[in-house]
Structure 1
Amino acid sequence: SLLLTSELKGYIEEPGWYFYSDEPFRREGLDLLMLTQGWRSYRLEQALVTDYQTPAIAPELYQRLTGDVKRLVGNKVVKGAKVTVNIPDQGVLEEVKTDEEGCFDFSPFEFPDSTLYSVHAVSPKGSSNVLLSLSPEEYPAVEQAWPFMEERHVAGRPLAENVSVDVSFMDKSNRRVSYENGLRSVFLEDVVVTAKKRKAPKTPYETIQGSITIRQEEIEQVPDMSLKTFLLSRFPGLYFKENVVPYYRGDDPGNRVRVVLNEFPVNDSIMENQLIQTLSLKDIEQIDINRDRTAGLAWFPMTGAYFIAIKMRQGISMANYIPKNVGQIHLLGYQKPAAFYSPKYETMQQKENPMPDLRTTLYWNPKVQTDKQGNASVEFYTADSEAPFSVVIEGITDDGRLIRGKW
């Protein structure tokens, strides 16, 4: 029903009848329906000579990460370039190669929305002197936007045109906020509290146990020196092997120190050295030093790593700092399922809890199945406040008809 009415023109009587079963007469009826109300014109001359039009966009069956790799000089495509895809949140680290056109296609996969994909490309011989370009996702343009209702912000009036607000509903919501977050007005005697303001972490690395955090205020007090010299003075146990590669307490391969720039792991030793040599302290907002190799698994899967995380100041152009062969992208993925909250009263502590239940939405279930007689039942706890509530039931029958009721 939903598919037919959205695709076909005109009134369709009992759309679900065509899909109730696979009987031949229903298929014949569906074919006639498509001929009469789903007709799409086409050029007969082109069809006779098999000059068919192919879709410009392929069916989207799964997520894809695509792009191309070119040379920095000459802008020529790089065949057989090695492209590493790192997905820290999912523990994925895989490699693909570019084709004859210098393009790569990392697929198929399915990951949640807002997942970060880090991509690193090198030439077939391992050179970083290449230009990586990631293809952004394309979406159809919105032909006509829905007009917004006129908003009102005057107390005691509707929030928008033709939308009324139940006063008891709003009062219940305000009371619930007061109970959960405390009263809004509490009169206390004058007191003087002195303490250092607790700063919220600016980076996810500050919470790592044993990490060293150097904030902007401390960096500004440092005399003019290079980033490399500054790190050696603040990172005990750090040294640079052959004055290039950073290590921590020994030159074992597992003791190598990696670099993370603006939450992006730099998976290239040459680029790491370039950043340490060229970054200016005056452009840096914060430096976090991770001395726990296991904690680095979130950014360097499979092996973990010690790392130096550098956060640049806002407004600083990274064109001269970020390597041209690396990139990051967020793709539109699936939404993680979220369960509707329903209170449970299983223990005596839960039953005797003095906190009143002021929920405004008592129950929601998107999958209520009826039995053979067409009956269904649900159970839920009402709120503590004495007030009438409404019930809305919506669904679809086996033969495709929409149902809706409100009481």
Structure 2
Amino acid sequence: MNALHRILMEIKRRIYLTALIILSWHCLSFSQTVPLKVQLLNITRLSDSLTRANSSEKLYLQFDKPYYALGDTIWYKTYLVNASSLFPADKSAIVYIDIANDSNKVVKRFSIPLAMGRGWGNIALNETEFIAGTYTMHAYTNWMRNFGDDYFFNRTFYVTGAAEKNWLINKQVSALNDTNKPSVNVKLYFNDQDGTPERNKPLLLNVFARNKHLYKQTLATSANGLLDFNIKIPPGAAGLTITAESANGDKKATIPIGLNRPENTDVQFFPEGGNLVAGLPAQIGFKAIGEDGMGASISGEITGSDQKTVAVFKSLHNGMGSFNLDVKAGESYTAKVLLPGGLNKQYPLPAVKVTGTVLQVINDPLSDSLQVSVKATPDLMQQPHSYFLIGRARGIVCYAAVLTLRDHFVNRNIAKSIFPAGIAHFTLMTAERRPLNERMVFISRSDISIQLQDSKYRYLAGDSVGLKLKVTDETGKPVAGNFSMSVTDDALIKTDTANSENILSGLLLKSDLKGFVEQPGYYLSKTPEAARALDNLLLTQGWIGYDWGKVFDPSVPTYKPEQDFRVTGNVTNVFNGAIKGTHVLLFSKSPGILMDTITDKKGRFVFDRLPKVDTPVFFIKAVNKAGRSFNVGIKVDEIAPPDFATKKASSPAPWYVNSDSTLINYSRKAELKQQQEYYKAAGHLLKEVNIHAKKIIKGSKNLNGPGEADQVFDEKDMEKAGKKTWLDLLTENVKGFREASFKVKVHKQVPAGGGSFLTRDVIIDTFIHDYFVKGKKAVFIIDGIQLDSAISIPTFVDLTNYLNFHNAEDIKGIEVNESGKYSTNYIREFIPDPWTYNPAYLDYAYIEITTRGGNGPFFGNTPGVYLYKPLPLSWPKVFYKPRYTAKDMVNRPEEIRPTIDWEPNVNTNAKGEANIWFYAGDKPSKYTITIEGTDWNGNFGSASFKIKIGGK
């Protein structure tokens, strides 16, 4: 569908909409006509204008493969579109990516620049930032934050440790039906990576509920490697995991238990349109979710107050389904549900309302129209009320009509062609603009077709593979567009292209629904069962509808769209007044950047057109008319990132739990690949060489000399830390730094005895709560001045507040002196009578902090200077494609390439064609080729293909 055709469709839609309103007008008395017609047109105008002015954005990322190992690289392509048109986004040109671990702590944040809504990059899974475990990627734009983080792009994946020596573990968990002592039975089968059982081995088991340790126990495996035991479940326990460790500690594994007790299955019922109304038929959707957050298969019956069965039901897909019910006045309905494991449980259905309306929509996949019906109770039919029926898609009103319900019900056949592809949202509201009923349906369209024409039927190992991509629209015409392609080896990567999220399910379905959507790709698989399952999904998860309050009372967006990377802020005087016309300098050390500008009348400054920098660190300085920074304050606009701490993501199990052969092979190859990094081409192991360069901190008052300390963190370390507080910086970086209560030796004067007034000095043990480094009390020295002697720090709380008040960017470096080698000079300087032996003096660790101002504990920010460390920008890198010769195929190490090829920027020409090539690996196998992308008019395509390498 080209741009001109879309404009004609919009004109057609507007004419159709106006005609509907005029036709509906004749159903009413003349006195009501003009105000209702005007009001409905006004609602349409408000809704459409709000959407055009403040349209949200949708984001989708394609990845090269579904799971990774330490040392791997994640290759990704970003598609950002306008939510209303699905054209490439024109508001934002920067996407933020946060990667959080299984504790929801963000371990990596960066941003990527976009052009025409497209961008691509890579993430190195190095061991300095990542460990084996579960991670969730959150991707969003600053503008998307105005609409809530439920609509961010989210993806959870597991990273395995490439060099892990773990077992392969088969897990079986079943609940024990003992209501007095809730517990589960756990069966764990331990095998080595060759499949041999770990026979008769003692294993230390520790059981945790999230971060709380419950208990530990040592058990021995049986002759077939089995541990069979029960676990008591404390009240409210969640996030149950077990760690298993061998007797000598050489093997360790973490096994999530994933409690899925049937009695804790959550079952909810959702009447179509919102309510059960007496005397009106109802379609009721239901959704059952297990304790693990996934859909649970259920069945059951609906009974009335007389316990007679009035309806039966059974889930169709992922715990969801629907059934019809004749709702009777004065009845109360109960669902008797058969849960997994054979447990029966009862759930009440929503209460029956005496009066009201229902909205029903039948979406037959084989029909070109929607059957929409509105029904009302007799008391409403007798009143001359009028209603508005509005159908919206992507925030735009596509259908609107004025209805009266004098004939008990209204039926309408509404053409699907007036709606774009994706979710359409119907609302029945009163003439006073109060929504009564809502219903979501999915409008399916023929997507753009992606075909792959390979030049050969079969390829040999090491062959150059040439592929021709052919893309057409629903009429067979060629499509010029932008696509990304991943090629993976089936021997190492198991793909689930039928159920996994793709660009269609991501941008047309998942991005419009709140909450977790399990197997999103399944719903658009174009089978009759998938169509029914999709309607059930929208009956349940789409039950909470559009917020019309935002249309009638729009709010001012909090977050602004970002077109480019820029640095903005303001300059003020000592009275916090704006300073206009003052010079502001921006400079960077690496790479060398020097820019200047002048503040406007509001004291604002802007630096744009900045050069490409991966990890920028900028020093920004403001000077007054005299060229000095005295009495000048500077502040850079920095927006706090979203807080994902409360987000609960689904947690895939580690690779070694209930693994199939593909995952096991991938893990082994990942380990072998890591080992190959240490070998020369001839196969000789390189000797490990450790190079240690002393870190020097300029301006340090270290009594041993700059850099002479047990631990040193220099200016580069501070720049990496950014806005972290001193306390966070010390906790995360200084080895052995922690808050604790410790027993220490202190001096105390006691009477000498014998009736004398003399005293004697004794050393006693006492407990103090403080900060320690490797068991030694931390003493803070700021620019050579002891902290608690310079300012009053009477309590531990005061010290904590002080350390939390200052940021890492305020200082140049930290030197930790805790060993006898480096603490002696500090003992002599800061301890009275240092020449008198006192073992208590050895229980201190001295933390020397050098600030940028060099003024000691009283320092503030350096006047007129601001250290600004924005998020790193990820610039695209080229995926390496090896070229082979006949000589290369002989006497070389085994090649390990889970991702054979990654092409993030494939552009089809006017004929809808593009040529792609890559070299096949050196082993016979099958490859999965996944291609996704879009034309420039809001149409998407996704396809998967197989090719064979070598073999018969």
Q: TM-score, normalised on structure 1?
A: 0.54
Q: Which residue of 2 aligns with 1:320?
A: 859
1:133 is aligned to 2:634 = yes
CA, structure 1 residues 105+23, in 2 after alignment: closer, same or farther (shift >3 Å)?
Answer: closer
The aligned counterpart of 1:216 is 708
Name the residue aligned to 1:26.
9
CA distance 1:84–1:361, shift in 2 (3 Å):
same
Query: What is the match of residue 432 of structure 2?
Result: none
- Cα shift at 1:372: 6.4
User: CA separation of 1:363/1:203 partners in 2, compared to 1, >3 Å: closer, same or farther?
Assistant: farther
1:147 to 636, 644, 648: 648
Q: Does 1:389 align with 2:927?
A: yes
User: Partners in 1 of 2:671 and 2:551 — Cα distance?
Assistant: 66
1:106-138: CA deviation from partner (whole Å, max 9, x where unpaired)? 234353443111111221112221343333432
How many percent of aligned residue pairs carry the same amino acid? Answer: 20
Structure 1 position 344 matched with structure 2 position 837: no
Larger strand fraction of residues: 2
For 1:363, the equivalent position in structure 2 comes to: 901
* Paired AA for residue 173 in structure 1: A
Question: What displacement does 1:339 show?
Answer: 0.9
Whether 1:262 aligns to 2:715 is: yes
After TM superposition, give the deviation of residue 391 of structure 1 in Å.
2.5
- Specify the code of the residue in structure 1 equivalent to 2:627: G
Give me the whole-angstrom Cα distance separating, in 1, the residues matched to 2:652 and 2:632: 48
In the other structure, the counterpart of 2:916 is 378
Unmatched 5+ stretches in structure 2? 18-46, 49-390, 398-547, 699-704, 720-781, 788-811, 817-846, 852-857, 947-952
Partners in 1 of 2:643 and 2:12 — Cα distance? 34
* Alignment of 1:107 onto 2:599: no
The one-character-per-residue Cα deviations of 1:288-320 (angstroms, maximum 9, x if unpaired) are: xxxxxxxxxxxxxxxxxxxxxx74437627362
> What is the distance in 2 between the residues matched to 1:329 and 1:362?
40
Where does the alignment leave 5 or more consecutive residues of structure 1 unmatched? 1-16, 47-51, 206-212, 221-260, 266-277, 284-309
Q: How far apart in 1 are the matches of 2:868 and 2:715?
A: 14
Return closer, same or farther for 1:321/1:43 CA change in 2, 3 Å cut-off. closer
User: Counterparts of 1:181 and 1:90 in 2: how far apart (Å)?
Assistant: 31
Q: Distance in 1 between matches of 2:655 and 2:910?
A: 52
CA contact (8 A) 1:65 1:106 kept: yes
Aligned twin of 1:172: 669
**C-alpha deviation, 1:85, in angstroms:** 0.8
Q: RMSD in angstroms over aligned alpha carbons?
A: 4.9
2:571 aligned residue: 69
Aligned residue pairs, count: 286
- In 2: Cα distance, 1:106 partner to 1:358 partner: 45
Structure-2 change in CA distance of 1:343 and 1:204 (3 Å): farther
Q: For CA contacts below 8 A with separation 6 or more, give which structure has more relative contact order.
A: 1
Cα distance change on mapping 1:343 and 1:139 into 2, 3 Å: same
Q: Secondary structure at the match of 1:178?
A: helix
Larger radius of gyration: 2
Deviation (angstroms), 1:329: 1.0
Amino acid of the structure 1 residue aligned with 2:708: Q
- Cα 1:377/1:23, change in 2 over 3 Å: closer
Q: Secondary structure at the match of 1:364?
A: strand
Range moving further from structure 2, 327-336 or 337-346? 327-336
For residues 31 and 142 of structure 1, do their structure 2 counterparts lie closer, same or farther at Cα, with a shift above 3 Å needed?
farther
2:692 pairs with 187, 199, 203, which one?
199
Q: d(CA) in 2 for partners of 1:214 and 1:129?
A: 29
- Deviations along 1:159-180, one digit per CA (max 9) or x if unpaired, are xxxx995222222222222222
Give the whole-Å Cα distance in 2 for the aligned partners of 1:155 and 1:370: 41
Q: Partner amino acid for 1:388?
A: K
**Shift of residue 214, structure 1, vs aligned partner:** 5.3
Note if contact 1:279-1:321 (Cα within 8 Å) is conserved in structure 2. no
CA deviation profile, 1:171-199 (whole Å, cap 9, x unmatched)? 2222222222359xxxx9xxxx9x99742
Report if aligned partners of 2:879, 2:902 keep a CA contact under 8 Å in 1: yes
Per the alignment, do residues 320 and 385 of structure 1 end up closer, same or farther by CA in structure 2, a change over 3 Å counting?
same
TM-score by length of 2: 0.26
Q: 2:655, 2:5 → 1: CA distance?
A: 58
SS in 1 for 2:570: strand
Structure 1 residues 397 and 71, CA gap change in structure 2 (3 angstroms): closer
Secondary structure, in 3 states, of the residue corresponding to 1:391? strand
